[in-house]
A = this chain, B = another copy of it.
């Protein structure tokens, strides 16, 4: 992993994961973000390995399997970041 996308933490080394926690001020914003994330994943055909959420937070783990290129996961991380601009992350 050359450099993790803005706000993401590279965890590894095998498999290499990208992790980020997003926090929101209310559930409706969390919900909007989760829905947008599901749509994004369906559109790009690439899904987080794990999503852990409560009323006002969402923790996302992207898993880069051994031997797999990290580029599309890094791109997905950036696309997820872009979603927060629309969903009111604090």
**Interface on A for B, CB 8 Å cutoff?**
27, 31, 34, 38, 47-55
**Chain B residue with Cβ nearest A54:** B50
Contact of A51 with B50 in the complex, beta carbons under 8 Å: no
Instruction: Decide if the interface of chain A is mainly helix, strand, loop or mixed.
Output: mixed
Q: How far is the CA of A47 from the CA of B54 in the complex (A)?
A: 8
Contact of B52 with A52 in the complex, beta carbons under 8 Å: yes
Known contacts A34-B38, A49-B54, then 9 further A-B pairs from the complex at CB < 8 Å, ordered by chain A residue: A27-B47, A47-B55, A48-B54, A49-B55, A50-B52, A50-B53, A50-B54, A51-B52, A51-B53
Closest 3 CB pairs of A and B: A52-B52, A50-B54, A51-B53
